[in-house]
Amino acid sequence: MNNFGTPYGAGFACCYDQSYMGARRAFVFEGVSGKRDEIMKLLQPELRSAKCITKIEKPVLTKDDIPYDASLIFNAGVAKYKGRYVMVFRNDYGPTEETYPAVRFKTSLGFAESDDGINWTVSEKTIFDNKNLLPEDEIRRLYDPRITIIDNKPYLCMAMDTKHGVRGCIAETDDNFEKINIISASAPDNRNMVLFPEKINGKYVRLERPFPVYSRGGKDRFDLWLSNSPDLIFWGETELVLAVEDVPFANDKIGPAAPPIKTDKGWLTVFHAVDKDENRGKNGWETAWKKRYCAGIMLLDLQDPSKVVGMSKLPLIAPETYHETESGFRQHVIFPGGMILEDNGEVKIYYGASDTVECLATAKLDDLVALCTEKR
């Protein structure tokens, strides 16, 4: 049985973060006592965000910000590129809570840019929309994009549904993120790929999450892996990095989240971790949603990133706010897709919440590294 802990006490405190122009309220989870459980619907066993995390209460992107048909805006890739913040986001659209699942989702990828990483302007055109696919097309959907800048060039990693399985793919894009050119795709079934921002020992490196249902007894039991490539096209030398049983707050699956950040202590890497409880009931649009997604954090070795240098045994970000626990398509879901290190040592972590909105949390780099290296 997993050792689920209660990290930081029973309550929360909130403050107004003036660095965000006074317009967006930020929750700082500090473990103070209070009647928090009367405000937010927390699942059991109870999990909390790390003390160093500041959540910006208002989502940074929702369906109301999108100039075309939109419903669920989440799991975005975010990066800094040529002096601006850039975002490629997933948009699942079509049904409402009342019409789902009789009406099925369509999926598009949209682009947004920002001067401050907080306020975003969305392009009028989508990058991809599967409503434009033909019945004979092998590719059926692209989703969950991640952005990595390598040698001043943007690349996208995406999940790609096909007629014959789910494949992880890597694509080139232009400076304005208007077109994508897929340059490689894995064999099924694989997804959640992220690229490291530079070559390591002369090779490109990616994290990935195969999901071998057949060999794992027909159930979720998916781990985090690493592969190398000489050219971004041919991939191999695959190694296991982190297994579900290594993460105390997971019992179902884990996988990559945002592209890693290089520090002098190692590659700072966030991942998603899922726990499942069959006793959980309706948590969103579906009849039952039994899973909870949290974000974890670890350090990987600078020269051999298949080796974990250190990992927090507690979640980095857990579902706590209203839009994380009480509204949305699938509640209690935190899914990071972008992590940016600012010059002042602040780290911005962008994450999808409840598979419905895109959110932002911040922390200091030193605090994040300390979570991975301090003995607990």
In 230-343, which ranges are E strands?
Answer: 236-242, 253-256, 261-263, 266-276, 291-300, 308-311, 334-341
Establish whether the linkage from the previous residue to 101 is cis, with ω within 30° of 0.
yes
SS3 75: strand
| Domains of the chain from N-terminus onward | 13-373 (2.115.10.20)
- Mean pLDDT value across residues 200-226: 93
Average pLDDT, the chain: 90
Angle value at C-alpha 272, between 98 and 17, nearest 5 degrees: 85
Is the confidence at residue 193, as pLDDT, over 50? yes
249: number of Cβ within 10 Å: 23
Sequential DSSP letters for 8-23: S-S--EEEE-GGGTTT
Q: What pLDDT is recorded for position 323?
A: 96
Taking the CA atoms of residue 355, residue 323, residue 261 and residue 227 in that order, the dihedral angle to the nearest 10 degrees is: -20
Q: What pLDDT is recorded for position 34?
A: 35
Task: Write down the pTM of the prediction.
Answer: 0.90
Sequential DSSP letters for 169-190: EEEEE-TTS--EEEEEEPPSSE
Angle value at C-alpha 205, between 176 and 298, nearest 5 degrees: 100
In 4-105, which ranges are E strands?
Answer: 13-16, 25-28, 54-56, 72-81, 84-93
Is the confidence at residue 236, as pLDDT, over 60? yes
Looking at per-residue pLDDT, the higher value among 140 and 217 belongs to 140
